Amino acid sequence: MSKINALISGSTGYIGIQLTKILVNHKKVNIKYLCGNSSIGKKISSYDKSLSKYKLPKIVKFNKNFLSSVDVVFTALPNGEAQKISKLLLKKNILIDLSADFRLNKSNDFLKWYKIKHKAINMIKKSIYALPEIKRNNIKDSKIISCPGCYPTSILLPLIPLLKKSLISNNNIIIDSKSGYSGAGRGIHKKYKYQNLYESLSAYGLAIHRHNSEIQQELDLNTGKINNFQFTPHLTPMFRGILSTIYVDLKKGVTKNKVNAELKKYYKNEKFIKISNPDTFLSTNDVINTNNCIISVCNSKYKDKLIILSVIDNLIKGGSGQAVQNMNILYNFKESEGLNGKI
């Protein structure tokens, strides 16, 4: 198959830059358009000097006429914007969205959590919540590929297999997640202009963080029951990476080794999911600049409880890398194309 043409809208954000860096080395993709608003006419290399060695188009304002000459449209835009583009798609186009626009199956839920009225309700049924290791078999049937949020990616990958097998209780799940500040986008610097962003740790969004909605949706859909959890995110003084620490109650007769064995079995053919030896302490350094998720099952001081550690790079496995992985699946490319080793 010849190369497919790609358009990246929102190309100068942290996710857009990382996506560009992956796609310039992808053997099956030609970057046809880089789109932005405040950056029109600039070179993408002015945002990341490592891209200066590549011949890339200058940044332009998105135009619907571009759609006739591209196959895949990546959107790394503020919430609500990809919905507008979705209504312009031609038959040949696939939309791979890295915002929250199509993560929720009900438009009322989107309004509740994002305080924005959904502008493309009819397109929701054409979309899929595309966590590739869980939804691989359904991705090819969808017009719109909705990439999961970074926090949910780190949380759903360890929890879904264990809840499906009823190895852990679906009640009293405690999730403590810590993320690098790049997860909040470039605007974080303005928001924290008068605060000590680079030397402080902050809890935020307690009980109301928007990712609660997709975590709830996907846990319930994949297990067929209502799951109860508490999720607390934290902003850390590092640029990238997520560490989620998940506290779970074991079902009667279930052991740490059985939980670990189930995760290894479930992900045995998955290149990007690594199950560590039990009681391995994990660091974000283990996954930075990779598309990997590493999971470790650890003892707690209580025999009937476990602590599960999960680490990802929020800009890659929690963003651009997962988007490319989904594209590879969709177009029957080698799933690891562009995603091997350090990215």
Catalytic positions, written as ranges: 150
Instruction: Give the separation between CA 66 and CA 63, rounded to whole angstroms.
Output: 6
Please say whether the dihedral angle defined by the alpha carbons of residues 335, 14, 21 and 290, taken in this order, is positive or negative: negative
Give the neighbor-by-neighbor strand order of the sheet with 94-97: 59-60, 29-35, 4-9, 72-75, 94-97, 144-146, 127-129
> For residue 183, which of 310, 313, 81 has the smallest C-alpha distance?
313
> For residue 298, which of 178, 158, 157, 156 has the smallest C-alpha distance?
158
> Which residues, 6 or more positions from 294, have their beta carbon under 8 angstroms from its beta carbon?
274, 275, 276, 282, 286, 287, 310, 311
Q: What angle do CA 12, 99, 180 make, to 5 degrees?
A: 70
Rounded-to-10 torsion of CA 90, 27, 328, 216: -90
Please state the three-class secondary structure of 271-312 as a single string: CCEEECCCCCCCCHHHCCCCCCEEEEEEECCCCCEEEEEEEE
> For residue 99, which of 141, 85, 197 has the smallest C-alpha distance?
85
Instruction: Give the separation between CA 238 and CA 240, rounded to whole angstroms.
Output: 6
Q: List the beta strands (DSSP E) in 45-200.
A: 59-60, 72-75, 94-97, 127-129, 144-146, 173-180
| Residue position matching structure tokens 């679906």 | 170
| Residue position matching structure tokens 């054409």 | 126
Instruction: Give the separation between CA 174 and CA 241, rounded to whole angstroms.
Output: 20
Instruction: Give the separation between CA 305 and CA 294, rounded to whole angstroms.
Output: 20
